[in-house]
Structures are given as C-alpha cells and as structure tokens.
Amino acid sequence: MRRGRPSDGQVEQWQPRLWAILLGLLAILVYLIAFVVKNDDRIEIDFVFFDSTVSLIWKIVLMLGIGVLGGVLLSQLYRRQRRRAAEPPGGGS
C-alpha cells in the first residue's frame, strides 16, 4: 500500500473505517443525550453546611469528576512513591 498523498481515484473511494467511527461517535452522542434526559429528576444534596436541590445528572457528573480527580491524584502519588523506591540510597546523582 502506498503512503503519502492519495491520488484522485483514492479520494473518491468509500472509507468503511471512517463511517464506522462516525456511526460509533453518533451512537455515543445519542446515548449521552438519552442518559441526560432520563436522569433529569430533581434531588436534594446535603453539602454539610448547606443543602441544594439539583438534577440527578449533576450529581452523577460531580461524582464522576471527583472520581477522575481522585484517580489522577492517587496515580501520581503511586508514581512518586515508586520513583523514590527505585532511587539508589544516598539521593542518586
């Protein structure tokens, strides 16, 4: 297979991989919209110092954000701990 700039005949060719990716992205988008619409119920959240009434989807997004942030922070702590354990005694250099 030739790499580089496609000829005019190749540009006109049907690209199943591109269409599969586009259909997959469209399916994910439709699912996300349906997910948001179905989780639009109002709930009360107690934040210790105050209460708030929000849509369920915002609680889900908040918990997702906290989980991602916690995962990133924990992975960084783990990497730092492994790096320190791998250093030779005396500080390296």
Residue that wins the pLDDT comparison between 22 and 6: 22
pLDDT of residue 8: 58
Is 38 within a domain?
A: yes
The two tokens of residue 88 are 């030779």
Is 33 within a domain?
A: yes
Is 10 within a domain?
A: no
Average pLDDT, the chain: 85
Is 3 within a domain?
A: no
Residue type, 25: L
Q: Which residues contact 51 (CB under 8 A, 6 or more apart)?
A: 44, 45
pTM, two decimals, is 0.58
Q: Which residues pair with 53 in a beta bridge?
A: 44
**pLDDT per residue over 7-19, tens digit each?**
655 556 778 899 9
Containing structural domain, residue 45: 16-86
Is 69 within a domain?
A: yes
Express as a percent the part of the chain with pLDDT over 70: 83
**Predicted confidence (pLDDT) at residue 58 exceeds the cutoff of 80:** yes
